[in-house]
Chains A and B, each alone.
Chain A
Amino acid sequence: MFAAALIVFRESLEAALFVGIVAAATRQLAGRGRWLSAGVSLGVLGALVMAFAAQHVGDWFDGLGQDVINIAVLSVALVMLLWHCIWVAAHSREMASDARRLGQSVQQGERKPWALLVAVALAVLREGAETVLFVSGAITGTETGAGAVVAAVVFGVALGAAAGLVIYGGLARISPRHLFTTTNVLIAILAGSIGSQLVKSLAQAGFIERWTSPLWDTSQWLAPDSAIGTLLHALVGYDARPSAAQLASYLAVLALIFLGNRLLRPRPQPVR
């Protein structure tokens, strides 16, 4: 059952790290716990629905139904993260430009980070649906009994959640002034990673044909299924064999966020 726990851990890791980062990013926001758990709950609910719908959806579009849904989910997640990184971040910085009131103004952020809520729900949905499918299959096909499967699943999810707590704990030690920048950079990188995954899904479904061959292969140095490879994939979108399209998408997302932030940056304040 170790294999089952490992699969569940891998699936839950990416979502758990994302939730951990978002939790740290919104640390000083009132009612954070409530909307964060709302996002996770919505994601779990969506995952259950999607896993049960997979039986039917898969047949759509000539066997590409799941890819189409996956592409839609990734696209919306990407738009949400772009929205958050460019607009909300610029606006928050405006509010926070007076350093003395930094803690306060972030706390008073009138805008609810709904874009992050949707992104959290979608991250949980994406990884959760596969987990639910795997678990339902493992329970019906088990020879060791459903109890052992459930124990393995609980263990795997707990490990994933622990990873989320570790990154949250690490980020929580950063001073509030730097925390905002750090989490924004992490979320921007995650957006790049989603951009890369989106393009990979488009290639897998046959919707894009150009630039789909791998540019390089680093699997000799860092295997994608190794512990560090898995962690880096979840955190920064590490891919041992990225296609040119994936790399272009990753860089384009980062460039868009960088440029958007520069353009929307509030006018420099007079030196005090």
Chain B
Amino acid sequence: MFAVRRTLSVALATALFCGWAAAAEPEYTIVIKNHRFEPAEVKVPAGQRVKLVVDNQDSTPEEFESHSMNREKVIPGGKKAAVFVGPLKPGRYTFFGEYHEKTAQGVVIAE
């Protein structure tokens, strides 16, 4: 039990350290306003991990979700949150706001 717990915490600590140590990936900001993404099309380099910063300027929360990038994260109203994606193969990866799916649609283009 303790061994498992210790291994887990060591693993987490190592992961945290690596995460901060390697913070050199390209960063892209996507703003949410009036339940729409701006820009709705984001070009990122393929074959490399990238950091998407989702800046929710609406007063309501939104869930940034992408099936093709296998990501989902709730961003409270007026907050920013980081989502790491990839490395992606060249192609189009759609994302949407689950709480306002009709309007909140976007695409990441990896090239």
Contact = CB atoms under 8 A, between A and B. Distances in A.
Interface of A: 3, 7, 54-55, 58-59, 62-64, 66-67, 71, 75, 78-79, 82-83, 87, 130, 133-134, 136-138, 140-141, 200, 202-209, 212-214, 219, 223-225, 239-243
A227 B101 CA distance: 17
Given A79-B8, A214-B70, 10 more contacts: A7-B98, A58-B75, A130-B63, A140-B59, A204-B84, A206-B84, A212-B49, A213-B86, A213-B89, A241-B70
A224 B5 CA distance: 32
A140 B76 CA distance: 13
Interface of B: 1, 4-5, 8, 12, 15-16, 18-19, 22-23, 25, 49, 51, 53, 58-63, 67-68, 70-71, 73-77, 79-89, 98-99, 101
11 contacts: A58-B76, A58-B79, A66-B74, A130-B63, A141-B58, A141-B59, A204-B71, A207-B19, A208-B19, A209-B49, A212-B87
Contact of A130 (B60, B74, B80): B74
Contacts of A225: 67
Contacts of B53: 63
Given A3-B101, A141-B59, A55 B70 contact: no
